[in-house]
Structure 1
Amino acid sequence: MNSRTLGADLNVSAIGLGCMGFSHAYGPPTEDDEAIQAIRTAFDMGYTMFDTAETYGTAEDPHHNEKLVGEALKDVRSQVQIVTKFGIRFDKTSKAVNKPLIPDARPETIRASVEGSLRRLQTDHIDLYFQHRVDPKVEPEAVAQVMADLIREGKITHWGISEVSEDYLRRAHRVCPVTAVQNRYSMMARWHESLFPVLEELNVGFVAFSPMANGLLTGAYGKGEQFDPKLDYRSAMPQFTQEAAKKNQELLYLLQGLAVQRNATPAQISLAWMLCKKPWIVPIPGSRKTERMQENAGAADIVLTNEEVAAIDQALSSIPMSAVFGGTEVVSRETK
C-alpha cells in the first residue's frame, strides 16, 4: 500500500485499520485468536497504521483492544505504527448502549494511562498518542507539556488530538507540535472541513474515523436492518432508522453509480474521495472481516481528479441526507 506522512515525519499506510470493533461498539466481540489473526492479515496486506484506545474493551476487560493489538503486532513492531488514546472514561451509570464520555486529561491521569497502554501493547513507545477528547477543565498548554515530556522520555514519538477546535489546536501546537487530529469525517459528516486550512498552515495531518458513516456508505445495510440494542452503537444511530433508509437512497445511488464507473465498490469510492482531497488525510475504517480489509486497501489505488472530487462535493451538498451520528455525549467529571 502507498504511504502518507502525517505532520512532519510520521509515515503511515495510506489507509489505517481501526481496531475498535474487534472488542467494542459493534456487537459481540470477536474471539481473541480470530481478531489477532485478522490484524496480522491486515499487516500482510500492507496496513502499517493500527488504531486502538485504552477504553476500547469489553464488560469483562475494559482494556481488551489494546491487548489484542499488542499481541498481534509484537513480532513486527518495528514495521508498524501503533496509535492509541488517553483522556476519557465511560459513564458506567448510564443505561445507554453508547455511554457518555467523561474527559480527564489531568497530568497524573495521562501518566497512568501511558504506562498502562505501553504494558498492554507490549511496546516501549507509542507512535501516535491521541488525546481522545478535550477536557474543558485542563488547559491545552498543560496537556501539550505532558506530551512534550513523554516525547523527551521516549514513551511516545508523536501526539495528536481528537475532536479538537481550532483554538485548542493552536494553543497546544505552540507548546508541543501536533502531528495529527483525529476527527469524524465521511461523505455524510463534513463539518470538520472548515479546519483543513488550519491543518495545512500548521502541517498537521488528519486521521478520519468513521469514514463510511459507521458502515452505511458501504451499501451493505438494507432497509429494516436490526442491531443489538445492548452491544451495538448502530442501534441508536440516526442514519440506520427506517426513515433514514428512504432519505439516503439518492446518496447511495450516487455512490453506486460512481463505483460502477470506476469498477470499484461504494466503500472504495467513499475512501478514495477523501484520500484524493488532501495528501495528508488518512482514513481508518474499522472492519473485522479480512475481505473488507482487502476491499478498503484497494481504495488507495483509485485516483480521482480534482474535478471529479469537486463534482462529488457539489453533489453531496445538494442531495438529501438523513442525520448522521455525530459523536458520543461528553459529560463533566465533576458530576460523575
Structure 2
Amino acid sequence: MGLDDRKLDVLRAIIEDYVSTQEPVGSKSLVERHSLGVSPATVRNDMAVLEEEGYIRQPHTSAGRVPTDAGYRLFVDRLSKIKPLSPAERRAIERFLLGAVDLDDVVHRTVRLLAQLTRQVAVVQYPSLSRSKVRHLELVPLSTTRMMLVMITDTGRVEQRQVDIPGTLPAEDVLELRRIINAKLGGQPLTQTPPLVQTLVEEVAEELRPAMTTLATVLLETLVERHEERIALAGTANLTRASMLDFAGSIRPVLEALEEEVILLKLVGEQSGSTRVSIGDENEYADLRATSIVSTGYGPGGQIVGGMGVLGPTRMDYPGTIATVRAVARYVGDLLAQN
C-alpha cells in the first residue's frame, strides 16, 4: 500500500527525532516538535498504519516507536531534498583538500575530512590502477647495471620497481629507452598496455633488445599483474559514540569486519557516479547488518577511478551524510583533474 504525504511526513518526523535523540518517539512529542497540522489522535492513527506496514516498530511495550530498515529505506528513496552544505562547510572542504601535496596526502586528507564531517567511519579507495592511464614512465639510473622504473598514472598514483639490466648501459641509451617506452605507452589505459609492451622489444634497435626485454618483463608486472587496490580508513572511534542498541549490544563484529580490506573494497569499490545507500539487512555481510553505508565514485572530469563512503549505525543523518559524501567526492575529482 502506498503512503500518502501526511504519513510520509509523520515517518520523516519520527526518523529525524530518533536520529537526534536516540530515544523511541511518541505521538505526543511528535505533535509538540513538528508542525504536522493534525491532531494527536490522527498522528496516532498514522503511526499505527506505519507500524502495520513495517516502517516503524515498538522496541518494548509502552515505549514510543523507532524506524525499521524499511522505514529508513523509504525515507532515503523519498528524500525530496538533500541537505545543502553551508558556505562555511564548502570553504572548509576546499581549503583542507587544496593543501594536499600528492595523491597519498589527498587520500588521507579526504578520509579524515569525511570522518570529521559525518562523525562516522570513513573509507576511501585509492584510484584504481585498472581504471587509470599511464601519464609518464621514468627510468632513473642507480648504477651502470641497475635502474629504477617509475610509473606515474593520470590519477597521481606512483609505482616504482628496481630493475637489474644485463650488461652496462650508457646514459644516452637510457634516454632512448625512456623515449621509446613513453611514445608507446603514454596516455594509454593500463588495461590496454600489455600488447603494446610486447611490441617494444621487436621495435627497438638490436643493441638495446636485452635491456628492453628485461624492462618489458618488469613493465608487465607493474602495469598488469600488480593491480593491488589500496584503502584508507578513518573514524572507527566514532562508532563508540553510537548507542549499544544500534549494534544489538556489541560493536565488536562491526570493528572486526572493518579490519578486512576485501570487505572495505566491496563497500566502496565498484562505484558509479551516483550515490549508493545500503541500509541494515541490505548489506551483504552479516556483521554489518546493523549499519548503513553511503558511498559514491570519484574521479577527474566525470571519469570514475575509485570509491569513497561512510559507514555508521542505521540511525544516521541521511540527508546530511549524502550531501557531504557527494560534495567531498566532487572536490576530490576536481583536484585530480587539476593535477
TM-score, length of structure 2 as denominator length: 0.21
- CA radius of gyration, larger in: 2
Question: Which structure has greater helix proportion?
Answer: 2
Tell me: higher relative CO, structure 1 or 2? Use CA pairs within 8 A at least 6 residues apart.
Answer: 1
TM-score, normalised to structure 1's length?
0.22
